[in-house]
Amino acid sequence: MTPSVLRLTAAELGARIAAGELTAVEAAQAHLDQIGRVDGDVRAFLHTDAEWSLAQARAVDARLAAGEQLGPLAGVPIAVKDIFCTAGVPTTCASRILEGWRPPYDATVIERVRAAGLVMIGKTNMDEFAMGSSTENSAFQTTGNPWALDRIPGGSGGGSAAALAAFEAPLALGTDTGGSIRQPAAVTATVGVKPTYGGTSRYGVIAMASSLDQPGPCARTVLDAALLHAVMGGHDPMDSTSIDAPVPPVVAAARSGEVRGLRIGVVRELGGEGYAPGVEQRFHEALDVLADLGAEIVEVSCPHFRYGLGAYYLIMPSEVSSNLARFDAMRYGLRVGDDGTASVVEVMRATRGAGFGAEVKRRIIIGTYALSSGYYDAYYGSAQKVRRLIAQDFDAAWERVDVLVSPATPTTAFRKGERIADPLAMYMSDLCTIPSNMAGNASASFPCGLAPEDGLPVGFQVMAPVLADDRLYRVGAALERALAERWGGPLLDRLADGAAGTYLGVATAEGN
């Protein structure tokens, strides 16, 4: 029974649970068993509690038995990036400074997930405070990519993406500040969506950079991501940046997958030198597939995108410097050096020195400098002007095309440790994803094949205008169906069957 449950999509699982063919408890137990089998190698989860998860599942089964009408994902297990506050459950942001902290409340997204009957099965690993592109900056452990355990699973949400690819969960929650959902999705052959900024609530999501952070769905299929998006999305009065508008028709778009007549713009600046040949090959093959389906493919220039990386790494650290000032050892979290004689300043200095990792400290220092007197206009102010120019590039593009596309990241998953000593090389992982965060529009990564040189996944990025998130799902669904026919099924089936190489996720469960 277990292997077949693990191979079901979230939509299929929900349908079986609703039909009484499977219970939420059975679904949760199957995935907890898979975590027990493989997470010692993958290390996707920072916290699991079987009784906590099974208690949720029993409650969902009771609600269904009582005739309560729940959504299509009722009873489906979900992994949660450890940046969402979960009442009474450890929430650390993979940082020593929050080690053991248990929030007294749920994030709005968590409340909506609970109300829809999803079952949380654990908190996933991440780069500390979402600062990184490899999940190597976690204070607690390094996560492996299920396609090759010596490779990174992307970041900052590598734990959520790895859990999906390892069949430890059919759905996961992520956040995307500069690519933290889309880049992990790209390198694990999963689906990751950054909704329009303000389309999902940030209330209860521990802030990194408030004008850039956005929660979003992570899944193995386009429809599953859309179903989760529909649960997460919508106005929240607790979030001052939340958009008071209906959730775009993402589920209908995912079921449709119609791209005939859609104008697709290929961003000239997101390709060429520095992009792996296999990434570009698979990207252009995917373009050919969409053209065969009736889409119109045109080249579009967005000249200011090339300045996005530099501007982002001034704006984001500046907001980090402000947001992380709250971790001062005075109210909650870690406290170091409080021997009864130390001053407040000494305790704060010792705590922040011991509690924050190297990458977090680096960004706090950069941000504090960029905001300092005499440098504010030269650095932070100039970066904000570039941000406006990037948004104008998008606005000009939308006059010509319905969506923009590019590779999701310039390379496939690199080896662990390969870029740790070179921050700039690490930051380049987000070269393609950053513009959408700067402008606030919707964006997603969908699998488009394996690079021929290393056999690792490649992601196809789709960008859509503000509140046109449904266009992402139209393109993603069309691509997913066409490529599944070419591949003979979902790409992740190769991983599950052991055909991808080192990691036999579901094959292990089947005893193959």
The residues carrying an active-site annotation are: 81, 156, 180
Q: Which helix (H) or strand (E) holds 215?
A: strand 215-219
Residues 6+ apart with CB under 8 A from 235: 242, 243, 244, 245
Query: Alpha-carbon distance 124 to 101, whole Å?
Result: 15
Provide the sign of the torsion angle of the four alpha carbons 255, 69, 10, 244, taken in this order. Answer: positive
Query: Alpha-carbon distance 412 to 279, whole Å?
Result: 7
Q: Tell me which residue has tokens 């992009």.
A: 275
The token pair at 167 is 């069949």
Q: Tell me which residue has tokens 């205008």.
A: 465
Query: Alpha-carbon distance 233 to 71, whole Å?
Result: 14
Pairing verdict, β 403-407 and 457-464: antiparallel
Residue 139 gets which letter from DSSP? S
Diameter over CA atoms, the chain: 73
Half-sphere exposure at residue 77, Cβ-oriented, CA atoms within 13 angstroms: 34
- The DSSP result for 243-283, as a single string, is --SPPP-HHHHHHH---TT-EEEEETTSSSTTS-HHHHHHH
